[in-house]
Amino acid sequence: MSIPRVLVSSFTFGEIDSSPVDLLKSYPAVYLPNPYKRKLTAEEMKELLPGVDGLIAGTEPLTGDVLAKATSLKVISRCGIGIDNIDLNAARELGIVVRHTVTGHPEAVAELILAGILDVLRSVSENDRLVRQGVWRQTFGLLLRGKTIGLIGLGRIGKVLTTLLQPFGTKLLAFDLQPDHQFAEAHGVTFTSLEDLLTRSDIVSLHIPYTPQSHFILNKERLTMMKEGAVLINCARGRLVDEKALYDLLKGGRLRGAFMDTFENEPYHGPLTELPNVVLTPHMGSATRESRLQMEIESVQNLLEEFDKIKARP
């Protein structure tokens, strides 16, 4: 393989620190940055991918149609953990290797989840808005101490969150298809069914990937199972939650509140923006300087590892 051409579609790549770009260029590789400085559309990806050997990807759609235009593409290195924007079957059929970053983001996401829990329990964002509107009125919130927290998914992020919650004296329930019993026993986590978790938890937090099987895992029926006055946290993937059903339960007062960092359609402009008891953020779970830099470096390392494997082929 001659000097590879690498498109970096992740539009904030290299902004925090130039070392990921420097590492890529030193391979050597031809660095092709995102020319639009925003999330790319499928049509734009079709225009940019021809002649590209490697792609450091963000969350843009990499459908079968898009990948079919990438006739030279050998490696997709996703800068992030989620790969639900990539048609993995099409990539496999086309012989495109797909990698993603697994270190770097768990601490950042777990800290944001904890911040969201405290925000909703104490109505921090809601009271901030009231003060700015000239309303000086204390709102009585709830303590985190002693609450029962249901973790849907006890992988990397769920485990970091578990350690962050230890000082608060919470009771931890978890639902996971591949339970780590050793970790759970060491940290006081009880595995249970999804339905039992929903009915017993004061706070429910999602930490699972999106797959066709997990689509709307929290549909209207399951959301209605949650305790009256419970809180929902979603910093995982938007399509895990039926947002319309959630809106109805929040507006009707059945649920105390929610913290949503991910949405079915992004950027989000839906009805949850109308509710004062919902905290909304723009899919910023991994958006700390430390985590982002580590993820960018790992994404370059993953890409170059695959290039080296290709070079080593007889």
Is residue 266 annotated as a catalytic residue, yes or no?
Answer: yes
Task: Provide the pLDDT for residue 279.
Answer: 98
From 100, 239, 283, 292, the catalytic residue: 283
pLDDT, tens digit (0-9, with 9 covering 90-100), for 31-70? 999 999 999 999 999 999 999 999 999 999 999 999 999 9
3-state secondary structure 224-293: HHCCCCCEEEECCCHHHECHHHHHHHHHCCCCCEEEECCCCCCCCCCHHHHCCCEEECCCCCCCCHHHHH
If asked whether residues 257 and 218 sit together in one domain, one would say yes
If asked whether residues 96 and 124 sit together in one domain, one would say no
If asked whether residues 95 and 14 sit together in one domain, one would say yes
From 93, 221, 266, 305, the catalytic residue: 266
If asked whether residues 47 and 145 sit together in one domain, one would say no
Strands laid side by side in the 278-280 sheet: 189-191, 171-175, 148-152, 203-206, 231-234, 257-260, 278-280
Is residue 298 annotated as a catalytic residue, yes or no?
Answer: no
Distance between CA atoms of residues 137 and 276, nearest Å: 15
Residue 9 burial (CB < 10 Å; 0-12/13-18/19+)? buried
Distance between CA atoms of residues 110 and 97, nearest Å: 29
Please state the rounded mean pLDDT for residues 174-202: 98
Decide if pLDDT at 1 tops 80: no
If asked whether residues 110 and 120 sit together in one domain, one would say yes
If asked whether residues 78 and 114 sit together in one domain, one would say no
If asked whether residues 167 and 244 sit together in one domain, one would say yes
If asked whether residues 87 and 135 sit together in one domain, one would say no
pLDDT, tens digit (0-9, with 9 covering 90-100), for 22-39? 999 999 999 999 999 999
What CATH number does the domain containing 293 carry? 3.40.50.720
From 200, 237, 239, 256, the catalytic residue: 237
Question: In 234-263, which positions are buried (b, 16+ CB within 10 angstroms) versus exposed (e)?
Answer: bbbbbbbbbbebbbbbbeeeebbbbbbbbb
In this prediction the pTM is 0.89
Mean pLDDT value across the chain: 96
Encoded amino acid at 136, one letter: W
Q: Which domain holds residue 211?
A: 106-280
